[in-house]
Structure 1
Amino acid sequence: MMKASFKARYEPDKASAAATVAVNAGDFKLRASMTDATVVNGPCLNGLALAVEKPGFFIIDYNVPKNDIRFQFMNTVRVAEKPLNLTYIHGKGDNRTIVDGCLVIDSVNKVSANHVLGTGNSKLKYTYLHGGLTTFEPSYDLGKNAWDFAISRRVYGDDLFQATYQTSSKDLGLQWSRSSKLHGSFKISASVNLAEERKIPKLCAETTWDFEM
């Protein structure tokens, strides 16, 4: 089976587009993605990326114009009978390695951590799902010594409203998204920096269409 998706992004000063085609090959998925830079001045290799994935085990991404490869490995272990989902990501180009872990305590509570090896960049996040609809996510950035907060609420099944606040940068964000197999998906977001004297919101809209062939 072949799946394709098309994404368009709109901002007041620019617009962009991207497309992805994925093919199932037994236990593996082969994926190719491109941006508008691939075809506007082309065809050319700008914005072209290839990937091989075995769901739940690994993903290998290759950025063609940058000749850069990224490895991502996933595994799940048990800690006190609780699933701990581990992800290891290494990018050859920037020589950066990221280790990510998520401990699922129960159906409504989970704790996750993210660390960039060789640096002080670490983040801790606690996720709490209330009533199956509202999610609270406080997180702490050890590198910045700062807290971030996010709260989201699912409405009418397909709609999700989210508010975020970053204490280090004083960025406040609002987002409305919808994911529907029949009508496609979209996301509308606005952000404003409360530290700026002129608090002009930044607006962005995205729409995604998925196809099966």
Structure 2
Amino acid sequence: MKASLKGRYTNDKSTAAATIAVGAGDVKLRASMTDATVVNGPSLNGLTLSVEKPGFFIVDYDVPKKDFRFQFMNTVRVVEKPLKLTYIHSRGDNRTVVDGALAFDSANKLSANYTFGTRNCKLKYSYVHGGVTTFEPSYDLGKNAWDFAISKRVYDDVFKATYQTWSRDLALEWSRNSKFNGTFKISASINLAEESKVPKIVAESTWDLEM
């Protein structure tokens, strides 16, 4: 049994979430809850139950909304290159999304995300230079806009900068993944189109426990 605890802090509020996963043969059973589940007494708010077979499928059930979300994964070969496909369907809002990622080699990858029945299609190219620096330009066909991201790994730390041309959002992020102290992420974002240049600060920490 594994447990995961996550805390999130922003300028205006703090939230918490917890996940408990149990292995049952080839599948994992998982229960996730937020602080809304326990605030003002135990309730079903924020409670999600999941069944997962890693690399094949995930079924999520949102208990308060009585809504299912299905996710299926598969990998096929295209000109001897692995193409990872993910099919996601949310029954409640009747939305279907397909993700695809084609790895040309260890440094170059092309991915696409498309929502059926809409113009929401996003293409992203990822290039890893020297194994530590990643460049990720992406193009949103629905918004007709480019996004750019660059990240650099320094030991256990990753520093990342992103810029969205459509919304003019600029964000800087620092994250660390440690076996002993868990993971944490601190980010600051600002909208360059707004007159008030007050950054939004987000801090997240996650602790994984073996039970």
TM-score range relative to shorter protein: over 0.9
The one of 157, 160, 164 equivalent to 2:158 is 160
Aligned residue pair count: 211
Is 1:198 matched with 2:193?
Answer: no
Shift of 1:163: 0.2
Q: Percent identity?
A: 75
Instruction: Give TM-score scaled by structure 1 length.
Output: 0.98
Cα deviation digits, residues 84-104 of structure 1 (max 9, x gap): 000000000110000110001
Deviation, structure 1 residue 62: 0.4
1:142 Cα offset (Å): 0.0
Q: Distance in 2 between matches of 1:47 and 1:198?
A: 33
Which residue identity lines up with residue 127 of structure 1 in the other structure? S
- What is aligned with 2:187? 189
Report the Cα offset of residue 181 of structure 1: 1.3
Q: Could you say what secondary structure the match of 1:196 adopts?
A: coil
- Structure 1 gap segments, 5+ residues each: none
**Amino acid of the structure 1 residue aligned with 2:163:** Y
Aligned to 2:176: 178
Runs of 4+ in 1 over 2 A off after TM superposition: none
The CA deviation string for residues 42-83 of structure 1, in whole angstroms up to 9 with x for no partner, is 200000000000000000000000001000000000000000
Aligned to 2:53: 54
Over residues 102-125 of structure 1, what are the superposed CA-to-partner deviations in whole Å (9 max), with x where a residue is unaligned?
001001000000000111100000
2:138 counterpart of 1:143: no
**Equivalent position of 1:9 in the other structure:** 8
Instruction: Give 1:1-213 correspondences, 5 Å limit.
Output: 2-156=1-155, 158-213=156-211
Shift of 1:41: 1.7
- The residue identity in structure 2 corresponding to 1:103 is L
Unaligned 5+ segments in structure 2 are: none
Q: CA RMSD in A?
A: 0.5
Amino acid at match of 1:139: S
